[in-house]
Amino acid sequence: MKIETLVRSIPDYPKRGVIFRDITTLLQDPQGFRYTVDQLVAPFAGSQIDCVAGIEARGFILGGAVAHQLSVGFVAIRKKGKLPWQTISEEYQLEYGSDEVEIHTDSLIAGQNVLILDDLIATGGTACAAVALVRKTGAHVVGASFVIDLPDLGGRKKLSEMDVPVRTLIEFAGD
């Protein structure tokens, strides 16, 4: 199945010159959604994965489905201030300024094997922060999986430099 045909490309969103890769059209397609989840699960079926950590927001949808298929728990990695309990956080740099991601302090246990999941890897800022956040808990990141890679933006390379195996299903040139 060519899932790239199910991804909507929106020019000049959220700003001029950017092409936004929208997976909501992929999620709407029953066969495309199923195929995508199956492809994200396949390399890890039978592995020693204890938990899937999904990055806000589309990583929640995909991560929940992958965690279900792997019969493991799910942890939400959220933007600062969105979680109601005690949290630990990791700051990361944006083009202009910084942002933070958080998890609950009791989300992960040292030694657990965690798969990080999101819809897209671009510059890698959020994904690298997610890796650092999971590692702060003493858990081990076994990999990071994404539906889409934008290789020209270098995020995959940054994760590889952090010794994180990266799996992506499709890629689009440019940003």
The pLDDT score that the predictor gives to residue 25 is: 98
Q: Kindly list the domain boundaries of the chain, sorted by start residue.
A: 47-171
Query: Distance (Å, rounded) from C-alpha 90 to C-alpha 168?
Result: 24
Q: Which active-site residues does the annotation give?
A: 58, 95
Tell me the pTM.
0.95
CATH topology of domain 47-171: Rossmann fold (3.40.50)
Say if CB 56 and CB 76 are below 8 A apart.
Answer: yes
pLDDT tens column, 99-140: 999 999 999 999 999 999 999 999 999 999 999 999 999 999
